[in-house]
Structure 1
Amino acid sequence: MTTNGSAASDPEIIAHRGFSGRYPESTHGSYQAAIAYAEEHDLELGLECDVHFSADDQLICLHDLDLDRTSDVTGPAFARTVDELRQVDFGSWFMPDPRPQDRMITTLVELLDMIAAARNRGVRITLNLETKHPNPRGLEVEDRVAELLTERGWAGADSPIRVITFFPDALVKLREVLPQLRRTFLISDLSRAGDGVLPDGVWIVGPDLERVREDPDWVGRMIAAGNQVHVWTVNTPADVRFCLDLGVTGFTTDFPDVVAETLSREGSDIPQYAPRVVSEDSRPGTTHRRY
């Protein structure tokens, strides 16, 4: 067991598939909106994406392996090239009259370009990059991620990228190909880390909020074992306060504005700003969503 996570840590806000509570998830518009929010408020913000392959060997940012839920077509995403996916509308399921950027799927290369451009102008943006499993090409995803990050000089200990996954075999592969990057073990079953011992080299665990509600003391056991706990998906002020009281230090959310404003009001050590007042009634639904 490592204890790298035992030191106190400022809360981390992680924008789940971009600003996905207000824009169509994983689109250019969703990631651009999250970056713009961080820039406007001088906020350190992590983005989150899920990656797997398109038919033409590019890594795309898309939670589902198929297109049914978040687009105007059906079928597997991996059966289409990126050019073909550009013809698909990924926005209208979520909002009326989406802008062009709200319809457009993002490739991992494009997202890394957005992050690099933002960081070059001083925006404190990082990325939680989930390798999606199962997928038709297995651990080739991790190999390609390593290639892309190494090409950019983002494979070292100072990288703005953290790699995350639910799959232990992927964690082993990531340790092999990206040994200096931080890794998070995502879980939807608390028993997978019930004794506080995580896979080798991992000291951040990412549980489902709904499972944490069932056993709140589990968080304390993880922290006592030297780990950090980053919970998904935390979308309401009440959920932020619940997690803070348990010692959670990472908040994956569809609404980074809600989490940032709540942490600010609670006096957590994040950049302070005048909260933008948004009535609860005016917000889109803040229901829990799967990682």
Structure 2
Amino acid sequence: MLAHRGFVPTAAEGVAENTAAAFAAAHALGTVYVESDCHLTADGHVVLFHDDDLSRVAGDARPVAAVTLAELEQVMETRGGLLSLPGALDAFPTLRFNLDVKAPAAAAPMGRAIAREADRVLVTSFSDRRRTEALAAARAAGGDPATSAGSATIARVLAAVASRSPLLVRRALAGIDALQVPERQGRVRIVSRRFVDAVHRAGAEVHVWTVNAAEDMTRLLDLGVDGLVTDRADVALRVVSARA
């Protein structure tokens, strides 16, 4: 189970996702894996923040890339507390991080920042270019994190699974540790028993996002998926514990 942007309890007021408070809440539940997103501030700091700008979280139209770390810390001070990527790794040494590279400029700095903790980081992005740039920077700095496929790679895997060729699936998944996908894309079903089995035979995991209902969690786990990205870490932990 991967806590999506940490965990914000239903009763919490004024706490935003991807904040120190949200990650502390996920950790307090007993969560091991957390999902987050990386942007770069105007002064070159990698921060955990999902959106390109501050509009939704803080009612501020400025892009994350246009504010300094100190300015962003001030904005988020009353919303749960900003986490830089190095700060998050230091503050939560027992958590494992699934990190999505959201901005092109964040890729290389993110890779360098995670190198020292590469054994507990999985790098992902919708963009295979950003993902591979982050991986290259991490490896150049002495780390070798796991990685999840970008959109172009996922499309190749889906075509390979449809062809029923194990060889093509293995080739499409070369260098990939996990596929992180929605159960459906519009009317198209992505996650099926055949899909999960094909990916497993090629040596990779399947993680499904974003799954918040207990019955959906149970159904997907029954299909054999390896991870559930969820806003409801509390519900997911109960579902997983009940299956133990």
TM interval, shorter chain, is: 0.7 to 0.9
Contact 2:128 2:150 in 1 (8 A): no
Partner of 2:177: 203
Partner of 1:148: 113
The Cα RMSD (Å) is 2.5
Partner of 2:166: none
1:173-192 matches, cutoff 5 A? 173-179=133-139, 180-187=144-151, 191-192=155-156
Distance change (3 Å), C-alpha of 1:221 and 1:211: farther
Q: What SS does the corresponding residue of 1:221 show, helix, strand or coil? A: helix
Partner of 1:214: 189
User: How much does 1:210 deviate?
Assistant: 3.1
Contact 2:173 2:202 in 1 (8 A): no
Give 1 or 2: higher helix fraction.
Answer: 2
Quote the Cα distance in structure 1 between the aligned partners of 2:157 and 2:8: 28
Return the match for 1:164 from 88, 101, 124: 124
Amino acid at match of 1:56: D
Partner of 2:17: 25
Contact 1:66 1:74 in 2 (8 A): yes
Partner of 1:232: 209
User: How much does 1:58 deviate?
Assistant: 0.7
Distance change (3 Å), C-alpha of 1:104 and 1:188: farther
Quote the Cα distance in structure 2 between the aligned partners of 1:77 and 1:258: 32
Partner of 1:85: 72
Q: What SS does the corresponding residue of 1:87 show, helix, strand or coil? A: helix
Distance change (3 Å), C-alpha of 1:177 and 1:82: closer
Partner of 1:36: 28
Quote the Cα distance in structure 2 between the aligned partners of 1:203 and 1:220: 15
Amino acid at match of 1:257: D
Choose between structure 1 and 2 for higher RCO, CA contacts under 8 A separated by at least 6 residues. Answer: 1
Contact 1:237 1:259 in 2 (8 A): yes
Quote the Cα distance in structure 1 between the aligned partners of 2:35 and 2:5: 5
Contact 1:128 1:163 in 2 (8 A): yes
**Bigger Cα displacement from structure 2, 15-24 vs 161-170:** 15-24
Amino acid at match of 1:143: A
Quote the Cα distance in structure 2 between the aligned partners of 1:62 and 1:253: 17
1:130 counterpart = 2:100: yes
Distance change (3 Å), C-alpha of 1:21 and 1:192: farther
Structure 1 runs, 4 residues or longer, greater than 6 Å off: none
Quote the Cα distance in structure 1 between the aligned partners of 2:130 and 2:74: 31
User: How much does 1:236 deviate?
Assistant: 1.2
For 1:50-75, what per-residue CA distance to the aligned partner results, in whole angstroms no more than 9, with x for missing partners?
11111111111111111111113222
Q: Between Structure 1 and Structure 2, how many residues are aligned?
A: 223
Quote the Cα distance in structure 2 between the aligned partners of 1:145 and 1:171: 10
User: How much does 1:168 deviate?
Assistant: 1.3
Quote the Cα distance in structure 2 between the aligned partners of 1:30 and 1:207: 23
Contact 1:72 1:88 in 2 (8 A): no
Return the match for 2:157 from 189, 193, 199: 193
Quote the Cα distance in structure 2 between the aligned partners of 1:250 and 1:115: 20
Amino acid at match of 1:176: A
Q: TM-score, normalised by structure 1?
A: 0.69
Quote the Cα distance in structure 1 between the aligned partners of 2:156 and 2:84: 31
Quote the Cα distance in structure 2 between the aligned partners of 1:127 and 1:147: 15
